[in-house]
Amino acid sequence: MAVQIKNTSFGNITTTAGTYDHDIVITPEGEILKRKKKLSKEIYGTSHIISLEEAKHIYREGAEKLIVGTGQTGFVELSKEAADFFREKRCKTYLRPTPEAITLWNKTDGKNIGLFHVTC
């Protein structure tokens, strides 16, 4: 069974595997990883813009969709380079405020990646 997300509030997210007080990435295999925000922060000075380096780190071969929870109020975005990377990999991207992204994640089947920002 795929990882489902139960809820989120400012600063945390609860999945069927546990509660986390940091941003998470869910791989298509169901592994939950702590997001490596420094890969973007080193380039842009913020983790609110996902860099190409971070995109390459989270991507898994054959992934069909990337669902990004952009934060409680929606500040996170993909850099142009990251968006181009996912397009080249034929991985559709969906960016929504985290509460909306959770609903989308829980309804979506297939080989997907989730990245969920838990603040902002």
- Please tell me the distance from the alpha carbon of residue 48 to that of residue 33, in angstroms, as a whole number: 18
pLDDT in tens, 39-55: 999 999 999 999 999 99
| Digit-coded pLDDT (tens) for 98-111 | 999 999 999 999 99
pLDDT in tens, 56-75: 999 999 999 999 999 999 99
Number of domains in the chain: 1
Report the chain's mean pLDDT, rounded to a whole number: 97
The per-residue pLDDT for 69 is 98
Q: What residue numbers bound the domain in which 68 lies?
A: 5-116
Query: What are the backbone dihedrals phi and psi of residue 115, each rounded to the nearest 5 degrees, phi first?
Result: -130, 120
Cα separation, 78 vs 70, whole angstroms:
10
What CATH number should be reported for the domain holding residue 52? 3.40.1230.10
Kindly indicate the confidence band of residue 1, based on its pLDDT and cuts at 50, 70 and 90: low
pLDDT at 46: 97
The pLDDT assigned to 2 comes to 83
State the residue for tokens 């990251």.
Answer: 82
